[in-house]
Structure formats: structure tokens, C-alpha cells
Amino acid sequence: MTVINNEIVQKLKTAHRTKEPINFIRNHYNLNEPTAYSVQDQFIKEKCDQTDENLSGYKISMTSPDTQAFANTDEPAYGTYTEGNLMRSQESISMASLFDPLIEPELIFILTDDLPMRASEEEIISKSRIAAGIEVPDSRYTDWFPNFSLEDLLCDNAAAGLAVISETVKAPSLDSLADIDMELFHHGEKISKGNSSNVLGNPVSAVTWLSKKLSAHDKTLKKGMIISSGTFILPLRVEEGTYKATYTSIGEVSVAFTP
């Protein structure tokens, strides 16, 4: 690992430990995408070494033109989940444990078998179960959303915060996955709605992109991994209270945010 990579990783680890956000990495370092992904890899390795957590899956970010515009990119990005990023539906989380979290309703793919490199949509559906999910992106930068660059986001593990996961169901057909309606509630009041077509046209297409991108990094998707496929709506900032997302044919998921 280069000296620069090490400096960035240590800054991010310090921010995690102290709960003190830092300035954008781009203000101090000139990075490209491959280097930023290498910073992410090193951060995850050191996190796992220190916490004895295992790698548990991936999150896919920026799966719509609107979200890609935030980072001036034309493709998604990924972050890496470890066990500490995962929560069950109906659990609660203290706002004090987070930085500046967002709410993103997403489908979660749970792999029932290893996937080959550059897996096809059909292979992904046949080797997955699906869960209703809420992703809670959270970044270690000051005033991070929507002001980040792609390199900022990748270094900070694509703003991986929490993935809240419901019980799984059998994966619907490819066509069905392209037209799943979602409604999001806060304190029982509907605050947003979206459709799975907002996720690269179909959430399975997002996982296909991830499989291809990981293969370029000599990585594969393994049995038991979870993948959050991308948000149905533009992200919303978290407020205290209970959020619930319902998905046609999939189910519902909820999470409570306490002070």
C-alpha cells in the first residue's frame, strides 16, 4: 500500500473511532477510481482485522441518472459490507452512533450459491433469494451529501452505513423484478414512493453490473453474501422515528431511529 493510501485509510479510521467527520479526500489528494477502490479495499481489510468481522456482501450506489449526476459519473459504484453493517428488520439504531445518515429503500439479494464471474441475470435470479430492505448510507465527511465526488465516495466505502433486511422470499421472475412498487412511511405517514425500474431499469441489472465490476477487480460473489441493489428513490435524510418500506410481492421492512 502506498503512503498516500495509508494516510487516507488512517484518516477514515480515525473519523470512525472518534465520530468526528473529516474534509473531503479530494481537497488533499488527487486520486483516480482504481486508487480510490484500493483505499476501500485496505480500509475493509484493516476493519476486519481489528473487529474480527467477515466480509458479508456489497452495496451498489448510484443506480440512476439522478444519483450518478451527484458524482459526475455514468455508472454505479460499490461499497463493501462487513457483518457490522447488517441489521434485522424491526431493530432500532441510535442517531448518536451515526454521522449524517440517509434513507434508501432497496431490494436485497441474498445469494444461495456462488456466482460465476460476470454472472448473467438468469444466473443471479436462480441463485438468489430476495428481501425487502432499507439502506442507511452514512459518510465520514463533513456535509457530504450531495457534495461528494466519486473518489470521495469510493474511499469512504461508498458511504456504507447499515443495511436493514427483512425475511427472504423466492426471487420473482426477471420481468416481475422490473416492476415492483415501493411505498415508504415515517411515523405511519407515507412520505415517498418508487418503482424498481428506477434501479438501472431492473435491480437484477445492478447486480449484473456488480458481478462484472468485481470480476475486473479479481473478486467474485459467494454463497451467503448480501447485495443491496440500489435505491428506488432519491435519498432522504434520516429523522428520528420509525421508517417502514413496503414492496409489492416482496414484503415489508422497518427500522426505528432513536436519539
Q: Rounded mean pLDDT of 164-168? A: 98
What is the predicted pLDDT for the residue at 3? Answer: 87
Binning the chain into helix, strand and coil, the percentages to the nearest 5 are 35, 30, 35
Tell me which CATH homologous superfamily contains domain 3-258: Fumarylacetoacetase-like, C-terminal domain (3.90.850.10)
CA–CA distance, 259 with 228 (Å, rounded to integer):
26
pTM score, whole prediction: 0.96
- Tell me phi and psi for residue 150, to 5 degrees: -60, -45
* pLDDT tens, residue by residue, 94-137: 999 999 999 999 999 999 999 999 999 999 999 999 999 999 99
CA–CA distance, 259 with 257 (Å, rounded to integer):
7
Q: Where are the domains of the chain?
A: 3-258
For all residues of the chain together, what is the average pLDDT? 96
* pLDDT tens, residue by residue, 209-246: 999 999 999 999 999 999 999 999 999 999 999 999 99
- pLDDT above 80: residue 1: no
